Amino acid sequence: MQLRVTVLGAGSFGTTMAHLITQNAPTLLWCRRAELAEEINREHRNETYLPGAEISSSLRATASLEEAVGEADVLVMGIPSHGMRASLEEVAKFIRPWVPVVSLAKGLEPGSHLRMTQVIREVLPDHRAGALTGPNLAREIMAGFAAASVIAVEDPELAKQLQALFHCGVFRVYTNHDVIGCEVAGALKNVIAIATGMGDGLGVGDNTRSAVITRGLAELTRLGVAMGGEPATFAGLAGIGDLVATCTSAQSRNRHVGEELGRGRTIDEISAEMNQVAEGVKTTAVAMELADQFDMNLPIAREVHGVLYEGRTAEDAYAGLTRRAPGAERDPD
């Protein structure tokens, strides 16, 4: 029997994943706005989030959460991290028993510091949870460029089933049992992308960008391992792979936020112009709370926090980073 898949959230990445999955299984995309569902069904387009992209005519869309969740054999959550819990509480009213739930969000829950699979298990304790993560820029995937991703699930049999659903043509999907490492890497790399973008906005040059990315990888690896992740994960697709893509691509929302900060704009001005969430803004605050919890120094994340929440400028941040006395490369900063 063919599995039926529902994707909740019709942003750029949720729509992209629904477009891919429909090549392997009947797929339904839930849209918050009825007019967007109608556009996808009638015109096979999502001009708000994927302008110019042609969506598979096999993909169905609905604005009814009950319809979307009630028929799902696999539920994919394309909801930003700050809205995940509230969305899952609504999902709980309609989801059938034992349906696995996969998160696409790359963030940590403010306040609780929970990863998205932990939030899923809290709200839906009888449902297995996983995460899809990696260097996946939605517009490039829709354009047919090759990409690789990771499905992070502890159960190896479920991992294989989900791998078969997501793997499509030149979109290659690998499995990884280290759910903690994959989720932490996916969340924290957004903070480093904001830092990298600030440097680009300031015009600091390629050498500096490379240094920030590399030292940023060291930061997120230290914190990720302290939280229970495996070191090897941070050297893979979910770690350095996603970090490089997010820090260097003009399509990266988090890098864009940093670049505009580097040009002297405020986070409120930048956020008001964006129609999608830059997860790194909220994750930066969570990262600082985790650094205190684990008694760990995260100098790059701390400088980003200073710009986002303490009124400092990007120039201040980069001056703070360059004034730090370097020690041994493998020692904590």
- pLDDT at position 222: 96
Judge if 36 and 139 occupy the same domain: yes
Judge if 248 and 304 occupy the same domain: yes
134 falls within a domain? yes
Rounded-to-integer distance, Cα 147 and Cα 171, Å: 5
Contact 255, 193 (CB under 8 A): yes
Domain coverage including residue 112: 5-177
Judge if 166 and 190 occupy the same domain: no
Judge if 173 and 184 occupy the same domain: no
Q: Within a 10 A sphere around the Cβ of 41, how many other Cβ atoms? A: 16
Judge if 173 and 195 occupy the same domain: no
332 falls within a domain? no
- pLDDT at position 1: 62
Q: Which of 192, 180, 161, 163 is nearest to 302 (CA)?
A: 192
- pLDDT at position 331: 65
| Final residue before a domain boundary, out of 177, 203, 224 | 177
Judge if 143 and 20 occupy the same domain: yes
333 falls within a domain? no
Judge if 237 and 121 occupy the same domain: no
Judge if 36 and 110 occupy the same domain: yes
pTM (2 decimals)?
A: 0.94
Q: Which residues are catalytic?
A: 189
Rounded-to-integer distance, Cα 258 and Cα 201, Å: 7
330 falls within a domain? no
CATH code, 263: 1.10.1040.10
**Angle at 113 (CA atoms; ends 189, 250), nearest 5 degrees:** 25
Judge if 222 and 145 occupy the same domain: no
Which residues of the chain fall below pLDDT 70?
1, 324-332
Q: How many domains does the chain have?
A: 2
